[in-house]
Structure 1
């Protein structure tokens, strides 16, 4: 699975994450937001107390090989377990992934399909 599709699945179908995956995703987002301020122990403690970053070994295990690997494995699990709930919106002309599941115009080739209904 490519990086773009993995991020699409997690972003738009995040409700299908299990508890540990949800915590790992929040951890990734929070650590990214902290950026260079990660060395600030007071700020890290505040994020930890809010549950935005995790020290849970099961959560950290999910992200031990990096963000991209977490996205790839988690998106594949969601796709395997909930295939019938996932709508991968590819352009009918160029076959590339659209920006969102509801998109009706391709960001890659400009193809438009506003008058067509979304498959159920």
Structure 2
């Protein structure tokens, strides 16, 4: 069970690092502000300055939403003939938003599975 939680936490960390390495000044700033701090193996969160899990999750979902809105805005600008919105930029933004959404859904599925595993444990 702790392996599944460690796996989920490592996936969240990798997602945050991927988002922070994307375009600077955009979604990466959200992810950098909500990084999980102070995690030490299976010992949990050390210190009181670490953000809560709900804050981290809310920040990740907000980042995905921002990525999807950016992709939608770029697609709309391309359709209207904006010269700054090239087809390559539109396609790249759409793929980034799709990957971010899929990663978020996968993390949610893993969390639900971990919750169900805990609830099905005998007392």
Question: Is the TM value for this pair above 0.5?
Answer: no
Per the normalisation by structure 1, the TM-score is: 0.26
Higher helix share: 2
Per the normalisation by structure 2, the TM-score is: 0.26
